Amino acid sequence: MAKRLSSPKNKLKQKRFFIFLLVGIYLIVCSLLVSVYFFVDRSLPGLETTLLLLLIGLTFVLVWAKQSMIPIQMYLHYYRMLDEQLPPFAIQSPVQSKAFLHNLEKYQFQLETETNAFQLFTRIYDHLPWVARTQTSLILIVLIKDQSMTLTDDRLELVIQQYKTNLKLKKEIQNELTLLFYQAPFLTEELKEKTQQIINFSLQNRAIITIPCLQIGDKKIYTLRPKRLFPNKFYYVLIKLLYYLTDANEML
């Protein structure tokens, strides 16, 4: 798997370097012309116009660079977590246990829907806990019964869309954060790769994050998480919530 990932990861690093290089060259050219204008000869033909156009163009270059870096950094964070390969962590409150359901109630999650395939618990936050500067957020806890379900399953998507349509809120939901809980007796390579298929989109303080979590037996949970540096504050909130809901032996 490492070999399969090395190529796209290297391409992303090359793109990032190319963006830094272009912005660096542009800034050097602007700096040289500014130096010429102020310290050498500001009467050179066309210098003032050229400098003005370059400085105006600098705004567009910086905006382009920022927008181009967002998906690159997002994927590089993902590959870094894969490289770190953190093992499953020990838990004291398995999914569906009384303690786990008590923790859901403690953190004010409500059972919204129960089907033969899953249970859906929801909570709306005006401001997310543990982090600063967040707006109205919807956190979804999905307890999977049909272990063949994927994180984009149509049955789940339909229920979530119906729930959001029926909501009557003064403020629009800005962030949608989801934990999906699967269960299996053993951690196989196939299950590991399935659990690593996350959704991690964050832009300008808005986010759509979905993190699958695989409970192995009754003692451990495997999920894709970093050692220290989180992809964004929303990912951090979900992992911390995961630890609290399961009474994990390790905490953030």
| DSSP-derived secondary structure for 165-200 | HH---SS---EEEEEEEEEESS--HHHHHHHT--EE
Of 45, 68, 84, the last residue of a domain is 84
Q: pLDDT of 120-154, one tens digit each? A: 999 999 999 999 999 999 999 999 999 999 888 99
Instruction: Indicate if 129 and 168 belong to the same structural domain.
Output: yes
Give the range of the structural domain holding residue 9, as residue numbers without chain letter.
2-84
Paired strand residues for 203: 206
Mean pLDDT of 216-238: 96
**β 118-125/110-114 pair status:** antiparallel
Same-domain check for residues 47 and 144:
no
Query: Stretch 220-225: mean pLDDT, rounded?
Result: 98
Listed as own residue / partner, the contacts of 120-123 with beta carbons closer than 8 Å and 24 or more positions apart are 120/156, 120/159, 120/160, 120/163, 122/163
Instruction: Return all residues near 160 (Cβ < 8 A) that are at least 6 apart.
Output: 120, 140
Domain-embedded: residue 127 = yes
Indicate if 183 and 215 belong to the same structural domain: yes
Between CA 37 and CA 250 the distance in angstroms is 59
Q: Are residues 64 and 101 in the same domain?
A: no
CA dihedral 236, 241, 243, 246 (to 10 degrees): -160
In a domain, 73, yes or no: yes
In a domain, residue 252? The reply is: no
Number of domains the chain contains:
2
Is 52 in the same domain as 97?
no
The answer to whether residues 162 and 196 belong to one domain is yes
**Residue 2: which pLDDT band, with cuts at 50, 70 and 90?**
very low
Strand pairing of 89-90 and 175-184?
A: unpaired
Does the residue 251 lie in any domain? Answer: no
- Residues of the chain above pLDDT 90, percent: 75
Shared domain check, 62 and 157: no
Both 31 and 124 in one domain: the answer is no
Question: Do 59 and 177 lie in a common domain?
Answer: no
Is 179 a domain residue? yes
Which segment of 8-22, 31-45, 49-63, 112-126 scores lowest on mean pLDDT?
A: 31-45
Among 84, 108, 123, identify where a domain stops. Answer: 84
Question: Are 113 and 78 in a shared domain?
Answer: no
Q: How far is CA 123 from the centre of its chain?
A: 19
202/3 Cα distance (integer angstroms): 27
Residue ending a domain, among 84, 101, 125, is 84
Query: How high is the pLDDT of residue 213?
Result: 98
Identify whether residues 107 and 220 lie together within a single domain: yes
Q: Pull the structure tokens for residue 137.
A: 């957020």
Q: Is residue 4 pLDDT above 70, yes or no?
A: no
Residue 110 has pLDDT above 90, yes or no: yes
Length of the chain: 252
Which residues, including other chains, have CB under 8 Å from residue 84's CB and lie 6 or more apart?
226, 227
Which is more confidently placed, 48 or 170?
A: 48
Report long-range pairs for 111-114 (Cβ below 8 Å, ≥24 apart).
112/159, 112/163, 113/159, 113/163
* Residues 96 and 216 grouped into a single domain: yes
Is residue 112 assigned to a domain? yes
* In the block, residue with structure tokens 């005006």: 126
3-state secondary structure of 44: coil
